[in-house]
Amino acid sequence: MAHQLQLEKERYRQWVKAGLGLGYLKEGIEPFCDDVTKQQHKDELNNIQQSKNLPTVTCGQCAVRTLKPDHLKIGNKQCPLGQANCNCCYTSGKIACPNNVCGAIYDNIITNHASTPPAPYWKNTQTQQWTGDSWSIAKCFINAPGYDQKTSAADIDCTGLLHVIINNKYFHNHIQCNLAGSNVFSKVTQYRNEIFHSSTMELEKTDASNYIDDMIAVLKDGKELIDRKDAQDAVKKLEELKNDDFIITTENMEKVLGDIREEIWNIRKSTEGLATKDDCDDLKIKYLHWNFSCLNKRR
């Protein structure tokens, strides 16, 4: 009964709707991200093969911490590609790729990174998989921990997929929206933080509606997403969320809370020993709320 009473609270219902919206948004952009990532990987390997006149483009022996890039530093520890703490600036102990491949991929990741200065998140990647797995490269564009063991687009949450779109210049060719500065893609990543980090698990109706409208705007981007069936099927689901008569079920609630539980687990695992007191307090609040909701369900 207590569980049902919670569902009857309007602001809680709106919070659940917004959380469901993130799931629908992931459904809509996941196939797009997978297709573009695979095409980028194919193009990149083909370019390396042609430019270096290699019979095959394969490796599995390099590690990102010890990899010697193809580019050379300039001056006193200055990276010509603009990356801070680049491997090119610390040549001691760095090893060139024995297959003449991984150094070029390292360079391409940096030059494709859209931030200034470029800041690939190397902790998310497995260098040994670069030539055989497109997502091992794509994960370098997710500037948050917890994705190192993810192996496909299906494993990556909505925020991770949005990071790949925003931070990877190759994706910019497939998006009409100007991804520099303030844009709807970046706004939605912030919404996700506000939804999942809410200690009250409540949201005003106008805020939830605005969040969902921007999720729809992402899926209606005029370059390619507007013409993809997966994206437009997700739009229909998002539009249904905005109806006043949309029924919130306990299954809906469990889906959103389950996503939060997974995030808590990923953050705790990836930042163990590194999280600040505020980070830990925030995780404790969310964890208590999640457990309280589950206990209510069992009553």
pLDDT in tens, 120-173: 999 999 999 999 999 999 999 999 888 999 999 999 999 999 999 999 999 999
Domains: count for the chain: 1
pLDDT tens-digit series, residues 8-18: 588 888 998 99
Q: Is the pLDDT of residue 259 over 70?
A: no
Give me the pLDDT at residue 200, please: 82
With beta carbons less than 8 A apart as the criterion, state whether 214 and 226 touch.
no
249: confidence class by pLDDT, cuts 50, 70, 90: low
* Residue 295 reports pLDDT greater than 50: no
The more confident residue out of 261 and 32 is 32
Residue 270 in this model has a pLDDT that exceeds 60: no
Average pLDDT of 266-282?
A: 51
In 3-state terms, the chain is what percent helix, strand and coil (to 5)?
60, 0, 35
Q: Are 191 and 214 in contact (CB under 8 A)?
A: yes
* Phi, psi for 177 (deg, rounded to 5): -60, 140
| pLDDT score, position 180 | 85
Q: Are 69 and 107 in contact (CB under 8 A)?
A: yes
Predicted pLDDT of residue 269: 54
Asked whether the predicted pLDDT for residue 118 surpasses 70, the reply is yes
Residue 55 lies in domain: 2-298
Q: Which residue has the tokens 């998989």?
A: 129
- For residue 162, the tally of other CB atoms under 10 A from its CB is 24
46 Rama sector, left if φ>0, alpha if ψ -120 to 50, beta otherwise: alpha
The identity of residue 126, as a single letter, is Q
- Give yes or no for a contact between 54 and 39, defined as CB atoms under 8 angstroms apart: no
Reported as a pLDDT band with limits 50, 70 and 90, residue 226 is: very high
Angle among Cα 151, 154, 160 to the nearest 5 degrees reads: 80
Residue 129, CA distances (Å) to 105, 126, 132, 149, 289 in order: 11, 6, 5, 12, 39
Taking only the tens place, the pLDDT of each residue in 44-87 is 999 999 999 999 999 999 999 999 999 999 988 899 999 999 99
* CA–CA distance, 220 with 202 (Å, rounded to integer): 27
CA 139 to CA 153: how far, in whole Å?
10
Phi, psi angle pair for 199, to nearest 5°: -75, -25
Q: What is the pLDDT of residues 90-112, one digit of tens each?
A: 988 999 999 999 999 999 999 99
Task: Flag whether pLDDT at 206 surpasses 70.
Answer: yes
Residue 74 DSSP one-character state: B
Instruction: Indicate the helix (H) or strand (E) that contains 232.
Output: helix 229-241
Neighbours of 86 (CB within 10 A): 22
Q: How far apart are CA 166 and CA 185, in angstroms?
A: 7
Q: List, in sequence order, the alpha helices (H) in the chain.
A: 2-7, 10-52, 102-112, 134-138, 158-167, 169-172, 184-196, 205-219, 229-241, 250-270, 277-298
Task: Kindly report the number of other CB atoms within 10 A of residue 149's CB atom.
Answer: 12
Which percentage of the chain shows pLDDT scores above 90? 68
Q: How far apart are CA 35 and CA 142, in angstroms?
A: 17
- Amino acid in the structure at residue 152: S
